Amino acid sequence: MARTADRTPRRAPRRRSLVESLGAIVLIFESVVMFLAALAIFGLKALPAEQALIGGALLVVALFITAALLRWTWGVVLGSVLQVGVLLTGLFVPTMWLVGAIFTLLWAYAVYTGITLDKQKKEVTP
């Protein structure tokens, strides 16, 4: 039996900006590292088990959700606010100051480069 489908034309997929793409890459990678960091904080008993695991899970989920919200300016601002949260994990394990600083620099570079290249692309393309 032949299936008759509605032949309505498909809408072209939305073009993602470079800020969105680069920012999502950084945030997803950061969420993986923060998951492992939460396990390390739990294993080192730097915090009570519930605080380490629930706090880590909330940070990981927030990073994932923010990666999906980067198409809006407030999503980029939220990503910047989360970088402060990642930096503050250094209060529990001092090595996390370094990890937080590295990811904050990666985030800043991704946002700056994305904005710059998006502006150049907009000038070249009509």
- Enter the pTM of the model: 0.84
Question: What pLDDT score does 7 carry?
Answer: 76
Question: What pLDDT score does 2 carry?
Answer: 56
| Total residues belonging to the chain | 126
Question: What pLDDT score does 73 carry?
Answer: 93
Please give the Cα distance from 60 to 56 (Å, whole number).
6
Closest CA to 73 of 14, 17, 13, 15: 17
CA 34 to chain centre: 11
Mean pLDDT by 10 residues, the chain (126 residues): 67 81 96 95 92 95 96 95 94 93 97 93 79
